[in-house]
Structure 1
């Protein structure tokens, strides 16, 4: 087996797989699961080797019907995939490689979904690709095995897989204190108020001390408020800059939220995995799909909607 350094180099140096080679379908969650699941998705690529970048986003529960791979994290850890995976909330972008063909079905979870299913701290458990059986239990193992077997037998489509995974999620949703649910909703509202929201504004909204706010946001999101705002500023800036037809005035307004051009480039590279000039290119399908403006316009209020006014 290659050394960890060589494996990480291989993960980071691979040419990203073309979007033209990938099929990615979104499936909306049932209404009762909307607070917990942002979207279900079905991903298919029949290449022998797939390279891409996972932006610094929230938790993903994924079932690999075909393929296996590895993901490299910023601290130097490299985690191998499992048939049933939990990608815990990621603070920054992480490159990955999969030996294909790669067919996967999954659920992008909201911060509330992560908390209700795991009962664990995103700060302590974040930035890892975990075996879902170990983290979530035997019920998810059984659901994953049904999906893998049914899909590979040609007996399940996306809707059938969604129904099986939705049932497992419903059975395993645990309680979250109502005051914490309100805080999660406040954080989404706060993040959506500006591309560069003030932590003081969040503290003023919340019925907690600033220290409690910092601790709870870190617990549910994996980053304290100041760093969380920094991450979403970079991700949303990347989404906006990748939009076809963006005006020069809007591009200047976005850049105005950073110290200078080089600062914006560094931040977008750290959290999105690409430079602003390349974030919209067609050779980064997973990055493009996850940073698409759809994911900020349509998931309100679970994560971080786009602010209405970028000009300040």
Structure 2
């Protein structure tokens, strides 16, 4: 079980950043494999001790992550992660449209990719990584990240796509795209183009990934529930539909994937609190 500690951003930044997270673990000689099936998250992650190694799911080739990596939504199981050594990670989890709003890049730049962060965001990433390493605690690291991101807020403007993405999250993908487009006062094609640019994937694909993640979460919370009940609760037509989607998004059946995920399962501790405008973490 890997513990994840998180801290919410200040209210001013909350439309763009979901949380700041810390993961620390000493595995010594042990190597733990973590499959990475399809997922909706976009994040910037700094490796402040040993780095992850990643194994290509298709070829088996293994590589080491850069010191800071920028990851977008993944639509299939592209890689697996090999966890080993002394791990000390600091992660900035963006909201679905947060990366695009803050940095101006289309989120499709990140789709099914993991870029060296400095290649996309510039040389200042190395300096921020050094400051994060020196800071030590989650709260101090979050303050450094806040100060950096706050400088970009002047370029951000309200966007109906952000509301639509949050709505899709709230209903785990169970929302009609036509209804979201109408609520955003956009034609369906215009809505789909803007959504894909801001979120990284089309609305329909995003809904599929959210439904898949909902099924995983439900099974994790209700281990005794059968897969037919999970399929119904997650909004699939039936269990066969769910199995088809699991194979498309993870390369595994539901049972196979849950077994593969078990050794590297994460436990999210209660949030420490949020950062206020004073720069102080408040519970």
TM bucket, shorter chain: 0.7 to 0.9
Aligned residues, how many? Answer: 263
TM-score by length of 1: 0.72
Cα distance in 1 for partners of 2:207, 2:56 equals 21
Cα distance in 2 for partners of 1:241, 1:29 equals 29
Q: Aligned to 1:244, which of 216, 219, 222?
A: 222
SS of residue matched to 2:192: helix
SS of residue matched to 1:86: strand
The runs of 5 or more residues in structure 2 that have no matched partner are 272-283
SS of residue matched to 1:208: coil
State the shift of 1:122 in Å: 1.8
1:14 is matched with none
User: RMSD of aligned C-alpha atoms?
Assistant: 3.1
Cα distance in 1 for partners of 2:189, 2:152 equals 31
1:51 is matched with 33
The runs of 5 or more residues in structure 1 that have no matched partner are 1-18, 296-312
Q: Aligned to 2:52, which of 56, 69, 85?
A: 69
1:200 aligns with 2:185: no
Choose 115-124 or 103-112, whichever is displaced more.
Answer: 115-124
Choose 275-284 or 127-136, whichever is displaced more.
Answer: 275-284
SS of residue matched to 1:283: helix
Instruction: Give deviations 1:217-240, integer Å, cap 9, x for gaps.
Output: 111111111111111111112212
1:279 is matched with 258
State the shift of 1:195 in Å: 4.8
Structure of greater relative contact order (alpha carbons < 8 Å, 6+ residues apart) = 2
Pairing of 1:37-116 with structure 2 (within 5 A): 37-47=17-27, 48=29, 49-55=31-37, 56-72=39-55, 80-93=64-77, 94-116=79-101
SS of residue matched to 1:239: helix
Cα distance in 1 for partners of 2:22, 2:242 equals 32
CA 1:251–1:85: 2 relative to 1, 3 Å: closer
State the shift of 1:85 in Å: 1.6
Cα distance in 1 for partners of 2:113, 2:42 equals 10
State the shift of 1:269 in Å: 4.9
